[in-house]
Amino acid sequence: MRALLMASALAVGVAGVAFAQAEDEFGSPEEAREMLENAVAAIEDDRDEALERFRTDDEFRDRDLYVFCGDEDGDFVVHPTLEGQSLRDLEDRAGEPFGERIYETAEEGEFNQVDYMWPRPGETEPIQKSSYVTRVDDLVCAVGYYEPE
């Protein structure tokens, strides 16, 4: 009987660990905001180096969290797959012009949010995403997180 209880406790413990790992599979709102705060500090320190770090450094690319920035013309200067394309003209699958909302919402020194539908990296089906957005110098930068499904 004691062995059965220990086996049950172990199974519950293992299931708990698996559940915790599944929760950690995706970035949280707090982690997204912290990443954007770190991105702003990096840009203020050395813009060119920061933009390169956003492309390559795990500090700025973690699970489904990543920094993306657009320039004054509205074009991505950093994004995992859309660099060189228009951020300002982006629409989600429902036709909502969220790229323009990102530019309208971004204010220097503030971390505001824009909600839209967008697929997770490596997926095609859009889900609810919220991005913290800010303006730093001549850039509009953001880090988004996905709502749990």
- Is residue 13 a part of any domain in this protein? no
Q: How confident is the model at residue 148, as a pLDDT?
A: 82
Q: For the domain that residue 80 is a member of, what is the CATH number?
A: 3.30.450.20
- pLDDT-derived band at 13 (thresholds 50, 70, 90) equals very low
Q: Which residue is listed with tokens 């997204």? A: 32
- Is residue 46 a part of any domain in this protein? yes
- Is residue 14 a part of any domain in this protein? no
- Number of domains the chain is built from: 1
pLDDT at 19 > cutoff 70? no
Which tens digit of pLDDT belongs to each residue from 31-80?
999 999 999 999 999 999 999 999 999 999 999 999 999 999 999 999 99
Q: What 3-state DSSP class applies to 148?
A: coil
- Quick one: how far is CA 125 from the chain centroid? 17
- Is residue 2 a part of any domain in this protein? no
Q: How confident is the model at residue 10, as a pLDDT?
A: 32
Q: How far apart are CA 69 and CA 78, in angstroms?
A: 5
- Is residue 16 a part of any domain in this protein? no
